[in-house]
Structure 1
């Protein structure tokens, strides 16, 4: 069964989050996803608030940019959330937007090496191990968590290029694909992830794939979607995004699911006029059609 989520866009001010969380929890939304985009809102702070304001909602962060973060600190924050809200947290890490990383003096020469080292350290620490490593970027000397999660949680990683996608199969427990991914792109990503899992000797372990989908509904939906794709520099003739009613959105979700997505996260336009209403549209109208 395909899980459905919705993004809380950080173009909304942080004080809008509580209303969105309450709407999601009340409506029975499965997953609410957050972003740590520069220079909008923190992923960890918003995740902690969303989890505290809800009773059953699963909350994902996709993604935390690793150039901004020390691996030990990211893992401490992850462990704290997993201990406080077991079974409801999904955290993903990634390269970050390189221009933004350059703006804050955090851009590295080898983003792929950094992501691999960060993932290796995080997964070992969250599993309760004591870690000493002298990597190119991640250096830890006898570090162990005093309060690791009761069981090692999944660590997701986001990727776009083929080498990065393959790395998520090797070194992460799940993969997050952005909204520039078509159904054919999901199929190719699945192949690369499986290659990575096989290379790392972990082909039998489950590896969920999360993909974002541009979506717009209601008055002016088509125009808002096209404007969003133009702003993001995406090909408007490709099979990207969906505008329309529940049937059209559900059909787009099913295409991604058939291509290999385990979770489809609907990404409203930045100018969505009714974010809480969008959540109710997803839960009340789209979810029953997805199955």
Structure 2
């Protein structure tokens, strides 16, 4: 079954998160996703608060930029959240926006190498292993978590280009595609992920969760708001996103799932006038229309 989520955009002040998380939990929405965009809001702090304020909601971070983090600290934080809220936390890691990483003196010489090493270390630590590695970017000397989770949470990775997509197949439990992805992009990503899995000796058709964001606007001014969000149109490229009522949104979600998405996360426009109402729209009107 397709999972449906909504993004809490960090353009909203942190104090808005409580009402939105509770609205998502009360409405029966499966997932709420958070971003750690520079220099807005912390992913881990926001996720821990959202999990504490809710009872059943799954909370994903899509994603934490690894240049800002030590792999052992990432694993400690993920393990703590998984033990506190078993089965409700989804960790996403990624390169980060390189200009932002440069602003804080953390630009990686090889973003792909850094992400590969970070994924390898974090997933091993979350499995309860003692890890020693001397990589190009990550160094650990006999590190093990004292409080590993009973079951390691899935670790997803954000990707856009072919090398990064193959890497997610090689070293992650799933892949996050941003809202620029069209159904054709999802299909192409699935093929590259399978290549990466095969190169790493993993079953090409093995379980690998695909999370895809979808630009979404609804209401009387939906088309105008979505157009403003996406900017000038390139006639040569399919335009991502959907503006319309619940039926139109459900059809767009279905097109992504038919292409290979397991979870579709509705991404409201930055100027969405009623974020809590958007969550209820997703849960009450769109969700029933999705198989």
Q: How does the TM-score come out when normalised to structure 2?
A: 0.97
Q: What number of residue pairs does the alignment pair up?
A: 289
Q: CA deviation at 1:234?
A: 6.9
Q: Distance in 2 between matches of 1:71 and 1:131?
A: 11
Kindly indicate whether residue 93 of structure 2 is the aligned counterpart of residue 93 of structure 1: yes
- C-alpha displacement of 1:200: 1.2
- Map residues 6-45 of structure 1 onto 2, 5 A cutoff: 6-45=6-45
Check whether the contact 1:180–1:234 (CA below 8 A) recurs between aligned residues. Answer: no
Q: Distance in 2 between matches of 1:149 and 1:173?
A: 16
Q: Cα distance, 1:235 vs. partner?
A: 4.1
Q: Is the 8 A contact 1:66 1:96 kept in 2?
A: yes
Partner of 1:216 in structure 2?
Answer: 217
In the alignment, structure 2 segments of 5+ residues that lack a partner are none
Distance 1:289-1:19 versus aligned 2 partners, 3 A rule: same
Q: How far apart are 1:8 and its partner, in Å?
A: 0.2
Match in the other structure for 1:110? 110
Q: Are the counterparts in 1 of residues 233 and 239 from structure 2 also a CA contact under 8 Å?
A: no
Aligned to 2:165: 165
Which residue of structure 2 aligns with residue 276 of structure 1? 276
The structural deviation recorded for 1:153 is 1.9
1:32-57: CA deviation from partner (whole Å, max 9, x where unpaired): 00000000000000000000000000
Q: Distance in 1 between matches of 2:260 and 2:234?
A: 22
Q: How much has 1:5 moved relative to structure 2?
A: 0.2
Q: Give me the whole-angstrom Cα distance separating, in 2, the residues matched to 1:249 and 1:201.
A: 38
Question: Counterparts of 2:165 and 2:197 in 1: how far apart (Å)?
Answer: 11
Shift of 1:197: 1.0
Structure 1 residues not aligned, in runs of 5+:
none
Q: Secondary structure at the match of 1:60?
A: strand
Q: Which moved more, 1:203-212 or 1:162-171?
A: 203-212
Match of 1:252 in 2: 252
**How far off its partner does 1:205 sit?**
3.4
Superposition pairs of residues 105-254 of structure 1, within 5 angstroms = 105-203=105-203, 205-230=206-231, 235=234, 238-254=238-254
Report the aligned-residue RMSD.
1.1
2:36 and 2:123 map into 1 onto residues whose CA distance is 20
